[in-house]
Amino acid sequence: MNDKIKVKVSSFVADILEIDALCFGFIKNGKSNKNGLLNKLIPTLVEARKERRNQIENILKDEYNRSDSENIYNAVNAVIDRVYFNDENLGELEEYIWIRPSKENISVFDEIETSEITITAQELSVYIRGLLNEYCMLPLYKRETLIFDNELDVFSTACYSHQILHFRSRSTNERRKVFAFDYFYGYWMNSGNYCIFYDINERKIMATPLYEMQDVYIIKQKFKPSEILIEQLRAYCDECDFEAVVNMEGEQDVL
């Protein structure tokens, strides 16, 4: 695996990556840090691609009893890439992006080089461009959930388990200890995703954009909310001004 990977993309894809890096806080020295964004994003995109292949193969086996399902699903995936995520849909390939795999993700890029491009019969740069083409055709709220897939999964686990959640705010660097209550996908709001919680130390009900959450983890200890607190959390969800949340004003003192 080379230290850096060069991928030629359309201006559309390059612009989306630039916008998302700035929008979701991937900034270094005052400029967009697309390499940081791509190192966060590509492992999730690879897993999503593998999961789709598995679903296709399982359907062929279970519903159509095809003994040659492996050969068919490889062909089907190649067709999907060519029809839905090809370069012609997104304009001329006229810009280059560079990816420097991080130490944490080098194994993912090794898997792409040794396994994924063999399965898909593609070159490394073509495979990665296909991932990015697919990603950039999605709406903003969905792109955010892919970038912060792990954070959303941990928050969701905390919601139904009542285990205490810890995270650090991307913009303020504050650490929070919270009772996770609910989250909302932004396709019906202002294209954002929001997490609702009760800050245990500050005794406040708050909301934060998903992208603000960093270093997210849960502990074994559980939080037992009162019925009054649950009622207040529900009321907050019903009345929350999510535009104010983006401006970090979406909080409410608990009575």
Q: What is the pLDDT of residues 179-212, one digit of tens each?
A: 999 998 876 667 789 999 999 999 999 999 999 9
DSSP 224: -
* pTM score of the predicted model: 0.86
Give the integer Cα–Cα distance in Å for 137 and 144. Answer: 13
pLDDT at position 251 is 61
pLDDT at position 249 is 46
pLDDT at position 247 is 54
pLDDT at position 22 is 95
Per the prediction, the chain carries an average pLDDT of: 86
pLDDT at position 21 is 96
Segments of the chain with pLDDT less than 50 = 249
CA angle, 246 then 251 then 255, to 5°: 170
For the chain, the distance separating the N- and C-terminal CA atoms, rounded to the nearest angstrom, is 57
pLDDT at position 154 is 97
Per the listing, tokens 């996770």 go with 180
